Amino acid sequence: MEENEYQRAELVGNQLTSLLDQTGINVTGLAIATDISVNHLRTIKNGKASISSKTAGKIADFFGVEIDVIFSAKLFKLKKWETIETIKNFYEENVNNPQFFVARQGEESIAYFIKKELIPTMFFAEQREVNYVRKYIKKEYKRDFSSKEISRQLNRLTDSGVLSKEDKTGNKSIYLYKLKSKKGS
């Protein structure tokens, strides 16, 4: 790319970053909405790719802006995104897809899941092995986390004082995790 192409790519990247930030949608969500590959959008967002008018048009259509906004050096301030039909529809259609939204990305993580789903239900009131936890989550919640992911998070919760951990066999291969009892209760 020539120097002015680099500058243009950087302007487009800055504009795209700003539009995404304003709407709370991440690159993965935009890729789904516009049918542009995630990798291509990341490259554009990082200011490292030229952008065709067709691609710019798809992005502009989604954000409800004129195509020249995508190429503008001045960052565009969207009106309330809730009033932009394409964005509003995207939010409504993807309410069950937290991975598309910046503020909800953590919901897909095992950490979020254990803290928000299992601990409040007193699931860990009894000692639980990692494999039991994994099978329970898969059966009851239709979520498939690996034993390694679960173990890592349970150890973090142990380190932070939420859970206690007991060596079941004495050879440090199987541990039992339980909610720590609160002092005075």
Domains belonging to the chain, first-starting first, are 3-105 (1.10.260.40), 109-179 (1.10.10.10)
- Residue from 29, 11, 8 nearest 20 by CA: 29
Q: With bands split at pLDDT 50, 70 and 90, how would you rate the model's confidence at 1?
A: low
Residue 79's pLDDT band, with cuts at 50, 70 and 90, is confident
The first and second tokens of residue 146, run together, are 């690996």
Query: Could you tell me how far CA 14 lies from the centroid of its own chain?
Result: 21
Rounded Cα distance, 28 and 121, in Å: 32
**Range 51-58 average pLDDT:** 95
Give, as one character, the DSSP assignment of residue 101.
B
Give the mean model confidence (pLDDT) for residues 45-61. 94
Closest CA to 30 of 39, 40, 22, 38: 38
Over 50: is that where the pLDDT of 153 sits?
yes
Per-residue pLDDT tens digits for 25-44 = 999 999 999 999 999 999 99
Tokens 């302007």 locate to: 11
Secondary structure element (H or E) that encloses residue 178, with its range = strand 175-179
Q: pTM of whole model > 0.85?
A: no
Between 109 and 27, name the one with better pLDDT.
Answer: 27
